[in-house]
């Protein structure tokens, strides 16, 4: 049996419903709350309600499902995921039976804005829609249809429009600064598919220079007697689904589905039609009974009804309804060995209950095992898992009894509710433990001792302190980037400065100061008589903008060495010695021309000489190497392999600028010169990133004749041998280069849909290996930093062996 991380053509669609099934029929004594994280530059967070873990690992651009929250006042606490150090906390008053969407979109202040949702019943074939402006620092915006018609005007930051009820349909909508037309769009018109019986929120978020949108959905209430119906598309076509002639599910792509939508009890004829040709693919008569829950699966030639059993689902148990619409038997297994489905026959389904957990599911189909992306299974949630004939796995979640403590790992981690907020009215009897640390496996990037350092809730010191203790404790900063990502440690306070190394997500840094007036490093005299400290221009309660502030830090590297470097404050949670948020303006200044230095072999190579062009190996998957060849051709003899991140001296380039002649020194004294593809190199000159064209034009890099041959030598004169060649991974591969405005990032989506979960942000200039495209060519499948997903074709340039590529030549399978 073959075991692969990902099979070609198989994609996991994680389409998370936003509302509880049991809340659709009538008002509940509890309220419901979901959380949305759209703070630019901020890593995934955990959300606690009254100290209980409610949401785990909420990433940028993501929304949680709804959790039932008892009516009354509650404390919401947010921490970096896997760490119990508080980022912020706030009070929330929940009304009985009232649903809320909480959106965090800014660091000034760190806070969820609260929006009350409207789930009053809708007529047949009707959807509800509203817009939230969540781009801090952006002007007011208008929403326009692609024909220029105005949808909503003058939406200011933080505002939500009123709801409008519209026919279920696909609306192409863009966003512009107030008063402008679509020629000035900050978000170009894109399709918003609105299914019936559903309330939608379009959130416009991100940075002013790189705005994005996410579409949240939730089913509205239904008048009893009623049942719940979800439609999932497992066909090879995008479909519309009609119920008794009314549009029900709109523009459902392969693997996509509706929420569990409330329908009055009765008989319905459901019809699935191809969007492209309006051809009827299948139809079925369905009896919807009061209180029932059904999933309708559309295939190319049938519409099959499966019953969702809701009985007995509690807040600590996740229920999986596994449906096999493929032509083969399937098995599903959790990484801990739990069997979810074993030898499940074609067109059959099975119900499995598991405790709330987070893990990797292995699918076995046609003798091949495929590990699906790690998934969080919450207690109190029904998950419909559909495996189709097209090797597509759809995972759709519907909260049934999800509570404030249903998140995976909630039983083993809590945070203390702040004592300075209404301390006299606290009702909790458990005061023996201020903080319970997360299990070690949750903090996968930062060592456990670093997690301990940032915990601020320690017992009060005995009074008075010993007179000899007079040490000043510097503030600390926790790195807040996505798990698996790293923060650049720069030699100077600039994004273009030479990188001394990387600090992983969760690492703790000692803050020595912020960038200040430059000085003569010999005499100590100021170099800029016109320098003004930006902190002196602030009002009493204002602070410096983290995005514009660089901090000088010390980092204790894993090998025992240390690094002093400059880092951008946008990606840090800075705390003083008491664990309170540190005002950046109150930090001491460090001359901005103070260079960072590395005393660690793990973090960085030695400093590079000046007036020399260097190249750093980039744009390769982990474990892949770049070859140094004797001649500038893909079939040239391999002299050496260079792993990702290797820095080499660039001696010159060929006329076409697609091959660089490099010089590389190995630790054993070997010196290799030869040709490497410029596609996989980033270029620097005196610590500044530069383009090849600019380097050649300024005569800082010479053109070398392609007749020059590479060779292997030695600094010691001893004979050396080349490394053993390995398979060339990038030859005959489709490469996509991300082309965006400076500072912008491209979403890696879980599925080929703008409303799908964002897995990672890919910077402009990154180059990716493409293995699949969607049928219409609008999305490309790739792997970035170990995660597989989809990117929008319109934001990349395609090449094949260094030449422009035709998208039609890429295999389709999305």
Most confident residue range from 239-253, 403-417, 430-444, 608-622? 239-253
- Residue 556: its pLDDT value, please? 80
- Residue 386: its pLDDT value, please? 92
- Residue 227: its pLDDT value, please? 93
- Rounded CA gap, 609 and 591, in Å? 23
Most confident residue range from 300-304, 386-390, 497-501, 538-542? 300-304
Architecture of the structural domain at 613-714: Roll (2.30)
Helices (H) and strands (E) in the chain, counts: 2, 63
Q: Over 90: is that where the pLDDT of 357 sits?
A: yes
Give 605's pLDDT tier (boundaries 50, 70, 90).
very low
Q: Over 50: is that where the pLDDT of 717 sits?
A: no
- Residue 491: its pLDDT value, please? 81
- Residue 587: its pLDDT value, please? 95
- Rounded CA gap, 678 and 661, in Å? 9
Nearest to 573 by CA among 687, 457, 494, 478: 478
Q: Order the strands of the 303-307 sheet from edge to edge.
A: 261-264, 226-233, 293-298, 303-307
Pick 145 or 223 by higher pLDDT: 145
Nearest to 115 by CA among 61, 176, 48, 63: 63
Contact 387, 368 (CB under 8 A): no
- Rounded CA gap, 562 and 508, in Å? 12
R_g of the chain computed on alpha carbons: 28
548: left (phi over 0), alpha (psi -120 to 50) or beta: alpha
Q: Over 60: is that where the pLDDT of 44 sits?
A: yes
Q: Give pTM, 2 decimals.
A: 0.55
Strands 659-665 and 670-677: antiparallel
- Rounded CA gap, 424 and 513, in Å? 38
Pick 124 or 527 by higher pLDDT: 124
Query: What proportions of the chain, in percent to the nearest 5, are helix, strand and coil?
Result: 5, 45, 45
Round the average pLDDT of the chain to a whole number and report it.
81
Q: Over 80: is that where the pLDDT of 125 sits?
A: yes
- Residue 17: its pLDDT value, please? 39
Task: Give the CATH number of domain 476-598; options: 2.30.30.40, 3.40.50.11540, 3.40.50.720, 2.60.40.740.
Answer: 2.30.30.40
- Rounded CA gap, 614 and 647, in Å? 7
Tokens found for residue 122: 């809708």
Nearest to 514 by CA among 460, 560, 474: 474
Q: Over 80: is that where the pLDDT of 69 sits?
A: yes
Contact 45, 32 (CB under 8 A): no
> Mean pLDDT, to the nearest integer, of 526-534?
86
Percent of the chain with pLDDT over 90: 47
Strands 638-643 and 647-653: unpaired
Q: Over 90: is that where the pLDDT of 179 sits?
A: yes
- Rounded CA gap, 237 and 253, in Å? 7
Q: What is the DSSP string of 380-441?
A: TEEEEEEE-TTSEEEEEEEESS--TT-STTGGG-B-PPPTTSSGGG------S-S-BPPPGG
Q: Strand, coil or helix: what is 678?
A: helix
- Residue 194: its pLDDT value, please? 97
Element (H, E) at 54: strand 52-58
- Rounded CA gap, 811 and 800, in Å? 14
Contact 680, 694 (CB under 8 A): no
Residue range 390-421, pLDDT digits in tens: 467 888 999 999 999 999 988 877 776 644 33
> Mean pLDDT, to the nearest integer, of 77-98?
90
Give 495's pLDDT tier (boundaries 50, 70, 90).
confident
Strands 293-298 and 303-307: antiparallel
Q: Which of 86-95, 130-139, 329-338, 757-766 has the lowest mean pLDDT?
A: 757-766
Residue in the block written with tokens 């929403």:
143
The size of the chain, in residues, is 814
> Mean pLDDT, to the nearest integer, of 715-730?
45
Q: Over 80: is that where the pLDDT of 10 sits?
A: no
Burial of residue 34 (CB within 10 Å: 0-12, 13-18, 19+) is buried
Q: Over 90: is that where the pLDDT of 595 sits?
A: no
> Mean pLDDT, to the nearest integer, of 505-528?
83
Q: Strand, coil or helix: what is 461?
A: coil
Contact 85, 77 (CB under 8 A): no
Residue in the block written with tokens 């060519």:
777
Contact 548, 570 (CB under 8 A): no
Tokens found for residue 631: 């001649």
Give 14's pLDDT tier (boundaries 50, 70, 90).
very low
- Residue 169: its pLDDT value, please? 96
Element (H, E) at 696: helix 692-697
Pick 573 or 249 by higher pLDDT: 249
Q: Over 70: is that where the pLDDT of 306 sits?
A: yes
Neighbours of 576 (CB within 10 A): 17
Q: Over 70: is that where the pLDDT of 601 sits?
A: no
Cα–Cα–Cα angle for 621, 59, 321, rounded to 5 degrees: 95
Half-sphere exposure of 651 (CA within 13 A, CB side): 15
Give 482's pLDDT tier (boundaries 50, 70, 90).
low
Contact 9, 391 (CB under 8 A): yes
- Residue 731: its pLDDT value, please? 60
> Mean pLDDT, to the nearest integer, of 659-663?
93
- Residue 455: its pLDDT value, please? 28
The CATH homologous superfamily for domain 734-809 is SH3 Domains (2.30.30.40)
Q: Give the residue range(s) of CATH 2.30.30.40 domains in the chain.
A: 476-598, 613-714, 734-809
Element (H, E) at 252: strand 246-252
Percent of the chain with pLDDT over 70: 81
- Rounded CA gap, 158 and 410, in Å? 31
- Residue 714: its pLDDT value, please? 62
Q: Over 60: is that where the pLDDT of 716 sits?
A: no
Residue in the block written with tokens 């997360």:
438
Nearest to 397 by CA among 70, 783, 34: 34
- Rounded CA gap, 523 and 477, in Å? 32
- Residue 668: its pLDDT value, please? 58
- Rounded CA gap, 617 and 624, in Å? 10
């Amino acid at each position: 049996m073959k075991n692969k991380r990902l099979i070609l053509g198989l994609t996991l669609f994680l389409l998370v419903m936003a509302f509880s099934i049991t809340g659709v029929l009538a008002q509940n004594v509890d309220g419901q709350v979901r959380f949305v994280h759209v703070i630019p530059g901020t890593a995934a967070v955990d959300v606690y309600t009254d100290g209980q873990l409610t949401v785990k690992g909420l990433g940028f651009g993501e929304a949680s499902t709804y959790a039932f929250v008892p009516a009354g006042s509650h404390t919401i606490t947010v921490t970096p995921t896997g760490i119990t150090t508080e980022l912020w906390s706030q009070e929330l008053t929940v009304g009985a039976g009232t649903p809320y969407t909480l959106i965090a979109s800014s660091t000034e202040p760190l806070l969820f804005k609260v929006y009350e949702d409207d789930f009053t019943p809708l007529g047949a074939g009707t959807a509800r829609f509203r817009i939230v402006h969540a781009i801090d620092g952006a002007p007011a915006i208008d929403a326009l249809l692609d024909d220029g018609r105005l949808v909503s005007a003058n939406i200011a930051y933080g505002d939500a429009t009123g709801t409008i009820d519209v026919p279920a349909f696909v609306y192409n909508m863009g966003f512009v600064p107030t008063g402008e037309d679509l020629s000035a769009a900050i978000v170009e018109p894109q399709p918003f598919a609105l299914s019936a019986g559903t309330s939608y929120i379009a959130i416009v978020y991100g940075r002013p220079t790189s705005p994005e949108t996410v579409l949240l959905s939730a089913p509205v209430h239904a008048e009893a007697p009623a049942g719940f119906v979800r439609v999932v598309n497992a066909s090879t076509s995008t479909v519309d689904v009609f119920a008794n002639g009314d549009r029900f599910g709109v523009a459902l792509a392969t693997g996509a589905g509706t929420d569990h939508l409330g329908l009055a009890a009765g008989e319905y004829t459901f019809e699935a039609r191809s969007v492209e040709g309006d051809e009827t693919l299948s139809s079925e008569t369905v009896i919807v009974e009061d209180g029932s829950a059904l999933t309708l699966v559309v295939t190319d030639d049938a519409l099959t009804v499966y019953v969702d059993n809701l009985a007995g689902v509690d807040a600590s148990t996740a229920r999986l309804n596994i449906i096999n619409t493929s032509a083969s038997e399937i098995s599903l297994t959790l990484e801990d060995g739990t069997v979810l489905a074993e030898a499940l026959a074609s067109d059959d389904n099975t119900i499995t209950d598991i405790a709330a957990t987070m893990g990797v599911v292995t699918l076995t189909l046609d003798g091949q095992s495929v590990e699906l992306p790690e998934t969080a299974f919450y207690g109190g949630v029904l998950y419909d898992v559909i495996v189709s004939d097209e090797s597509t796995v759809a995972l759709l979640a519907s909260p049934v009894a999800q509570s404030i403590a249903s998140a995976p790992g909630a039983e083993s981690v809590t945070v203390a509710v702040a004592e300075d907020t209404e301390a006299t009215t606290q009702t909790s009897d458990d005061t023996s433990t201020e903080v319970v640390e997360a299990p070690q496996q949750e903090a996968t990037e930062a060592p456990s001792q670093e997690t301990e350092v940032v915990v601020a809730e320690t017992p009060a010191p005995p009074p008075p302190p010993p007179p000899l203790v007079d040490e000043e404790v510097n503030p600390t900063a926790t790195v807040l980037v996505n798990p698996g990502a790293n923060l650049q440690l720069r030699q100077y306070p600039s994004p273009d400065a030479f990188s001394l190394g990387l600090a992983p997500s969760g690492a703790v840094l000692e803050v020595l100061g912020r960038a200040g007036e430059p000085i003569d490093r010999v005499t100590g005299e100021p170099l800029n008589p016109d320098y003004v400290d930006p902190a002196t221009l602030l009002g009493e309660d204002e602070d410096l903008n983290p995005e514009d502030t660089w901090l000088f830090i010390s980092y204790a590297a894993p090998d025992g060495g240390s690094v002093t470097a400059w880092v951008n404050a946008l990606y840090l949670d800075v705390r003083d010695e008491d664990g309170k948020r540190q005002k950046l303006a109150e930090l001491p200044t460090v001359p901005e021309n103070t260079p960072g230095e590395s005393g660690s072999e793990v973090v960085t190579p030695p400093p590079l000489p000046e007036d020399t062009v260097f190249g750093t190996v980039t744009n390769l998957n982990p474990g892949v190497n770049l070859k140094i060849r004797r001649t500038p051709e893909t079939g040239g003899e391999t002299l050496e392999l260079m792993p990702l991140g290797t820095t080499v001296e660039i001696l010159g380039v060929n006329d076409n600028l697609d091959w660089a002649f490099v010089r590389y020194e190995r630790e054993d004294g070997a010196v290799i010169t030869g040709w490497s593809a410029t596609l996989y190199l980033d270029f620097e000159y005196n610590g500044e990133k530069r383009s090849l064209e600019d380097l050649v034009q300024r005569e800082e890099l010479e053109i070398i004749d392609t007749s020059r041959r590479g060779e292997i030598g030695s600094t010691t004169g001893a004979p050396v041998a080349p490394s053993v060649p390995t398979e060339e991974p990038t030859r005959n591969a489709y490469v996509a280069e991300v082309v965006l405005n400076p500072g912008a990032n491209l979403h890696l989506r879980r599925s080929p849909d703008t409303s799908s979960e964002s897995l990672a942000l890919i910077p402009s200039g990154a180059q990716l290996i493409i293995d699949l495209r969607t049928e219409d060519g609008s999305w490309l499948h790739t792997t970035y930093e170990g995660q597989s997903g989809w990117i929008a074709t319109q934001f990349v340039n395609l090449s094949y062996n260094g030449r422009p590529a035709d998208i039609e030549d890429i295999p389709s399978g999305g």
